[in-house]
Amino acid sequence: MMKKALQTQFLSAEGAAKLVRQIGLPQVMQGIAANIHQDFLHWRAFDKSARVAAHSQDGVIELMPIADDRTFSFKYVNGHPKNNMLHGLPTVMAFGVLADVATGMPLLISELTLTTAIRTAATSVVAARALARQNSRSMALIGNGAQSEFQALAFHHLLGIEEIHLYDTDVEATAKLMRNLQANPDARDLRVSAYASTREAVRGVDIITTVTADKTNAAVLTADMIEPGMHINGVGGDCPGKTEIPPEVLRKARVFVEFEPQTRIEGDLQHMPADFAVTELWQVLAGKLPGRTSDTQVTMFDSVGFALEDFSALRFLQSAATAQGLTQALDLIPRLTDPKNLYQLIQPHQSTNHPTRKSAATVLA
């Protein structure tokens, strides 16, 4: 009998936050970015599909599965823009699972609400390393909600961005982002300024990151704001009817995507004709197709979030959280002395149903 994991591990919301506090956000972002880069280089090894989405009046719930020949993963994630206002809940909540392809055993259930923000920013940096001008130093950050700190700090720590221009329709959100960045002892070299409009914020920057949340077809950027050589990191347009960047801007740029069939449906790309040319990022990373080819070219990463990035993030969490002793055993799958005898679990007068059970673990809640 081969030795296989017989126990599902759990990484709680607090466990993941503790992991980040213990080893440092820059280190976590770098670790996840490295996994994303590595997994994108093995693109063809993955069984990929567009995510499964259940749309409703106020939002969407999605399942994002992916697998290679050893590991299966999926993420559960919602997007409900009115959650803050109506329910005091985050717009985006998520959790994920890693499982063993050989047995189907779920190996890890992990929070991914915090982690989604981190992996999205890490993906943005992996793309910008290949697509933004060398020596990019300034970035506009349009949309200052839950994900904005992670974008700012990823570009600062991992790409060398020194100056960030902020704009949000909600001035409270911008004030919160300013406070958080200024209080961060690791980001003392980062200069941050708030602007009165997107137009003013984006003027002269090397990179524009848009990360807005409304479930509408918005036009956060217009073509006249785009200067030669800019890289646009478009993060917030990520489902049908939810876009940020209008066709006139896409037409000015070379557009790069994660997984083309998904981005055609969900990205800012959804408003473009089916023959509008795009390049999958993995092909640039693998050296198969060029990324940016001149310093005056406009590049755009139409990022919608792809299952492989969560796979990469879950791999990182599994390894790092286990090393830090932050995972806990979860009694999700029954352990059976005879696997054909599932009935033993409920047999009357059976005193113990978990013969190999050793100890109780505490899950904080």
Report 132-151 residues binding its own copies (CB under 8 A): 145-147, 149-150
Rule CB under 8 A: choose which of 40, 72, 195, 306 binds its own copies.
72
Residue 329 per-residue DSSP state: E
62: β partners: 53, 77
Find, among 330, 332, 333, the residue nearest to 342 by Cα. Answer: 333
Candidate list 238, 268, 302, 310, residue with the active-site label: 238
Binders in 31-50 for its own copies, by CB under 8 A: 47, 49
- Could you give the residue ranges of the DSSP H alpha helices within 42-131? 83-87, 113-131
User: Token pair of 154, please?
Assistant: 């990823």
Q: Does residue 117 belong to the site contacting its own copies (CB under 8 A)?
A: yes
Q: Is 39 a catalytic residue?
A: no
In the complex, the smallest distance separating the C-beta of residue 311 from its own copies, rounded to whole angstroms, is: 12
Tell me the number of residues near its own copies by CB under 8 A: 100
Q: Does residue 93 belong to the site contacting its own copies (CB under 8 A)?
A: yes
Q: Does residue 323 belong to the site contacting its own copies (CB under 8 A)?
A: no
Q: Does residue 26 belong to the site contacting its own copies (CB under 8 A)?
A: no
Q: Does residue 357 belong to the site contacting its own copies (CB under 8 A)?
A: yes
In the complex, the smallest distance separating the C-beta of residue 184 from its own copies, rounded to whole angstroms, is: 7
* Residue nearer to its own copies on the CB measure, 33 or 132: 33
Q: Does residue 272 belong to the site contacting its own copies (CB under 8 A)?
A: no
Q: Does residue 175 belong to the site contacting its own copies (CB under 8 A)?
A: no
Rule CB under 8 A: choose which of 196, 274, 275, 340 binds its own copies.
340
Q: Does residue 242 belong to the site contacting its own copies (CB under 8 A)?
A: no
Neighbours of 67 (CB within 10 A): 18
* Residue nearer to its own copies on the CB measure, 323 or 361: 361
The rounded distance, in Å, linking the Cα atoms of 59 and 52 is: 14
Q: Does residue 325 belong to the site contacting its own copies (CB under 8 A)?
A: no
Binders in 182-211 for its own copies, by CB under 8 A: 183-185
The rounded distance, in Å, linking the Cα atoms of 228 and 253 is: 10
Q: Does residue 363 belong to the site contacting its own copies (CB under 8 A)?
A: yes
Interface with its own copies by CB under 8 A: which range of 82-90, 222-230, 237-245, 246-254? 82-90
Q: Does residue 286 belong to the site contacting its own copies (CB under 8 A)?
A: no
Q: How far apart are the first and last CA of the chain?
A: 37
Find, among 170, 165, 169, the residue nearest to 192 by Cα. Answer: 165
Rule CB under 8 A: choose which of 33, 98, 114, 201 binds its own copies.
114
Rule CB under 8 A: choose which of 273, 287, 325, 339 binds its own copies.
339
* Residue nearer to its own copies on the CB measure, 60 or 249: 60
Whether the CA torsion 87, 89, 91, 97 is positive or negative: it is negative
The answer to whether 236 touches 261, Cβ cutoff 8 Å, is no
- DSSP letters, 145-195, are STTHHHHHHHHHHHH---EEEEE-SSHHHHHHHHHHHHT-GGGTT-EEEE-
* Residue nearer to its own copies on the CB measure, 176 or 191: 176
Inter-CA distances, 140 with 88, 201, 244, 306, 331, Å:
28, 6, 15, 24, 46
Where does residue 148 rank: exposed (0-12), middle (13-18), buried (19+ CB within 10 A)? buried
Q: Does residue 20 belong to the site contacting its own copies (CB under 8 A)?
A: yes
Q: Could you tell me which residues come within 8 angstroms of residue 70 by beta carbon, excluding any fewer than 6 positions away? A: 100, 101, 102
* Residue nearer to its own copies on the CB measure, 180 or 283: 180
Q: Which residues are catalytic?
A: 238
